[in-house]
């Protein structure tokens, strides 16, 4: 259903999608600046936008190639850099109790793809991904609901804008909402609000930033994830 109240994504890659990815990357770096040894707790709030916007980018790619099979190359790159990134991730986040974010995104991509495709193979992969997410939820960054977030994003593409509250709630569930709510601090409550509005903000950007022309994010962008941990680790060494 397309119309004035829907938020469709174009059938071809556009600047808006690259802009979304760059903004997600920026928000992630801002979030991780909290770990360099300075008092930057407020950066937690923009940091809550990073994961849902990466999930939205995955959903947009799945939506764009609606009739194509699961890209083994796409999945392969996610899995490869899941492994490569784990060491710098644990070097930087010393008390990490989950894997880095890429396994969550890889599983989420399979779930979203399986929902869209009718093929038994795609549905089978999605079922395996959901099962893994359920069993190993505590080991995955953003847990079980984090794996479901790309699907929730995909679900809302062809629906009226106010349906974005659904992925917003999934995003809240993927974060430590009980801890944030119990905290009651301005930063914690603002973080919850950011989770709730992130899907709608991202969808509006995809629709209205069609004329944006940031540098295209191609496969080299995968290297930015492990590299940013190493760079921030160096910054922390200098500050300490």
Q: DSSP states of 181-237 as a string? A: HHH--HHHHHHHHHHHHHHHHHHHHHHH-TT--PPP--GGGGGHHHHHHHHHHHHHH
Contact 7, 204 (CB under 8 A): yes
Dihedral angle computed from the Cα positions of residues 67, 70, 74 and 80, in that order, rounded to the nearest 10 degrees:
180
Most confident of 56-65, 124-133, 177-186, 207-216: 124-133
pLDDT digits (tens, 9 = 90+) for 4-62: 445 554 445 578 999 999 999 999 999 999 999 888 999 999 999 999 999 999 999 88
Report the pLDDT value the prediction gives residue 71, as an integer from 0 to 100. Answer: 64
Distances (CA, A) of 74 to 116, 144, 195, 219: 17, 21, 26, 9
pLDDT digits (tens, 9 = 90+) for 134-171: 999 999 999 999 999 999 999 999 899 899 999 999 99
**What is the average pLDDT score of the chain?**
90
What angle in degrees, to the nearest 10, is found between the helix axes of 101-116 and 50-64?
30
Report the pLDDT value the prediction gives residue 11, as an integer from 0 to 100. Answer: 47
Average pLDDT over residues 128-137: 97
Segment 215-219 long-range contacts (CB within 8 Å, at least 24 positions apart): 215/18, 215/22, 216/13, 216/18, 217/18, 217/21, 217/22, 219/77
pTM: 0.91
When pLDDT is cut at 50, 70 and 90, the band that residue 66 belongs to is low
Task: Give me the percent of the chain exceeding a pLDDT of 90.
Answer: 70
- Residue 160, helix vs strand vs coil: strand
Contact 151, 174 (CB under 8 A): no
Nearest to 92 by CA among 227, 221, 220, 187: 227
When pLDDT is cut at 50, 70 and 90, the band that residue 117 belongs to is confident
Average pLDDT over residues 52-79: 83
Average pLDDT over residues 69-77: 76
Most confident of 4-18, 68-82, 114-128: 114-128
Report the pLDDT value the prediction gives residue 64, as an integer from 0 to 100. Answer: 80
| Residue, of 179 and 198, whose pLDDT is higher | 198
Report the pLDDT value the prediction gives residue 74, as an integer from 0 to 100. Answer: 81
When pLDDT is cut at 50, 70 and 90, the band that residue 177 belongs to is confident
Nearest to 24 by CA among 44, 45, 43, 52: 52
């Amino acid at each position: 259903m397309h119309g004035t109240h829907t938020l469709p994504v174009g059938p071809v890659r556009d600047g808006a999608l690259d802009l979304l990815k760059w903004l997600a990357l920026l928000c992630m770096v801002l979030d991780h600046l909290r770990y360099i040894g300075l008092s930057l707790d407020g950066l937690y709030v923009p940091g809550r936008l990073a994961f849902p916007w990466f999930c939205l980018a995955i959903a947009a790619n799945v939506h764009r190639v609606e009739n194509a099979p699961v890209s083994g190359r796409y999945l392969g790159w996610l899995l490869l850099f899941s492994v490569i990134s784990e060491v710098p991730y644990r070097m930087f986040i010393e008390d990490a109790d989950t894997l880095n974010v890429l396994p969550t995104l890889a599983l989420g991509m399979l779930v979203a793809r399986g929902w869209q495709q009718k093929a038994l193979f795609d549905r089978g992969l999605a079922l395996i991904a959901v099962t893994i997410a359920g069993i190993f939820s505590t080991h995955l960054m953003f847990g079980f609901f984090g794996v479901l977030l790309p699907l929730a994003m995909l679900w809302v593409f062809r629906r009226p804008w106010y349906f974005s509250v659904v992925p917003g709630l999934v995003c809240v569930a993927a974060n430590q909402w009980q801890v944030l709510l119990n905290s009651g601090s301005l930063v914690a409550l603002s973080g919850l609000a950011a989770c709730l509005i992130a899907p709608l903000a991202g969808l509006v950007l995809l629709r209205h930033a069609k004329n944006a022309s940031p540098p295209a994010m191609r496969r080299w962008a995968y290297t930015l994830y492990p590299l940013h941990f190493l760079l921030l680790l160096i910054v922390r060494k200098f500050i300490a």
